[in-house]
């Protein structure tokens, strides 16, 4: 796996973007000469990834933890000789877009480009997501205990997926009800407080730290109260200009916005693959060594210390996928 990503540009898609079938369809449309490696990953506490609810995680919002995990995953999967790390292109939809954007802001040295689809923002989104992701499970744990939590649809799915890689059931069972409730309450309240930010969980100041070129796509039809055109347009406006300039130092556009009918899959995937190709060409012209050394120094000790992490499905565009444990 590490050898695979060192000779290609990693394209890392959050599993919220699409199911594996859609992910494979996207990879088949990738530029043939681009030498991309596609990676589908589950965020911590979702899918087949491990779970962590102990006190050391309570001080951050869960999206910030996911962004750190993603940067560590990039570091681990794109290792090269001499400590050099290759940046990756991140692709995310909805919550996957939030995590990808936050990772690009918090760890710019890790990201070559970012595709942000159907971003979530506003009071309706913040309140709904805070309750759906966190507060409802805190209530269930308080009233009926963790055994009842583990029987909910979300945790049944996590446990079923986790059986393929091991360790997830143990990480859930080992947590105390008190720790679980404190974590879910802290994360839910943190998310609810971000209702007035441009995107749930990401304020404008953080967003302006993004250095990588971005493609913002809004293609939900019909539009709901969480994934709105206004949110995508606001994010694109913030990312498009920095220090009065709409281009990066090499003249590459900072941000582009695409509005598309979700059903027009060939249209927006063609725009995405064009973006991948442009970023690939730009990345080949840049010397990433200096930019990426800090990523290596920051995350390799954590990886070696055995921090719980993510599970990824790995596929080259012309090969069958394989599933691995990222081991973060």
DSSP state letters, 198-236: SBTTB-HHHHTT--S-EEEEE--SS--SSS-HHHHHHHH
Short-list 325, 40, 15, 43, CA closest to 201: 43
pLDDT value at residue 52: 85
Q: List the domain range (segments joined by +) for residue 97.
A: 2-325
pLDDT value at residue 233: 96
CATH number at residue 117: 3.40.50.1820
pLDDT value at residue 37: 72
Q: From its phi and psi, is residue 111 left (phi > 0), alpha (psi between -120 and 50) or beta?
A: beta
pLDDT value at residue 123: 96
Residues 166, 161: Cα–Cα separation, whole Å: 9
**What total number of domains does the chain contain?**
1
pLDDT value at residue 142: 98
pLDDT value at residue 229: 92
Terminal Cα-to-Cα distance of the chain (whole angstroms): 14
Q: What is the pTM of this model?
A: 0.82
pLDDT value at residue 16: 54
Residues 161, 16: Cα–Cα separation, whole Å: 15
Please report, in tens digits, the pLDDT of each residue of the chain (328 residues total). Answer: 334 444 456 777 766 545 566 667 777 766 665 566 777 888 888 877 888 888 777 878 889 999 999 998 888 776 654 556 678 899 888 888 999 999 999 999 999 999 999 999 999 999 999 999 999 999 999 999 999 999 999 898 888 876 555 567 777 778 899 999 999 999 999 999 999 999 999 999 999 999 999 999 998 666 788 899 999 999 999 999 888 899 998 889 999 999 877 666 667 778 888 898 888 888 877 654 344 433 333 333 333 223 334 444 433 333 333 333 333 3
């Amino acid at each position: 796996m590490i050898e695979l990503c060192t000779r290609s540009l990693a394209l890392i898609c959050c599993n919220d973007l699409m199911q594996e079938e859609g992910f494979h369809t996207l990879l088949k449309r990738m530029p043939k000469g681009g030498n991309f490696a596609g990676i589908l990953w589950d965020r911590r506490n979702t899918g087949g990834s491990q779970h962590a609810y102990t006190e050391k995680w309570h001080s951050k919002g869960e999206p910030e933890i996911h962004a750190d995990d993603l940067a560590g995953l990039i570091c681990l999967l794109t290792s090269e000789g001499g400590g050099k790390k290759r940046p990756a292109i991140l692709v995310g939809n909805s919550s996957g877009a939030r995590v990808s954007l936050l990772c690009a802001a918090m760890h710019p040295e890790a990201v070559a480009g970012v595709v942000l689809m159907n971003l979530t923002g506003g009071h309706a989104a913040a309140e709904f997501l805070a309750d759906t992701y966190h507060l409802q499970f805190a209530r269930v744990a308080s009233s009926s205990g963790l055994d009842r939590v583990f029987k909910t649809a979300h945790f049944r799915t996590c446990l079923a997926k986790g059986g393929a890689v091991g360790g997830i059931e143990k990480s859930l069972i080992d947590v105390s009800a008190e720790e679980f409730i404190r974590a879910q309450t802290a994360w839910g309240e943190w998310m609810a407080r971000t209702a007035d930010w441009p995107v749930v969980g990401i304020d404008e100041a953080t967003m302006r730290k993004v250095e990588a070129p971005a493609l913002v796509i809004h293609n939900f039809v019909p539009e709901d109260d969480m994934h709105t055109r206004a949110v995508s347009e606001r994010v694109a406006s913030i990312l498009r200009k920095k220090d009065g300039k709409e281009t990066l130092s090499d003249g590459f556009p900072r941000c582009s916005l695409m509005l598309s009918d979700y059903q027009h899959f060939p249209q927006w995937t063609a725009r995405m693959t064009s973006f991948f190709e442009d970023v690939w060409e730009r990345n080949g012209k840049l010397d990433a060594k200096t930019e990426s050394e800090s990523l290596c120094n920051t995350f390799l000790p954590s990886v070696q210390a055995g921090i719980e992490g993510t599970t990824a499905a790995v596929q080259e565009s012309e090969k069958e996928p394989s599933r691995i444990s990222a081991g973060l």
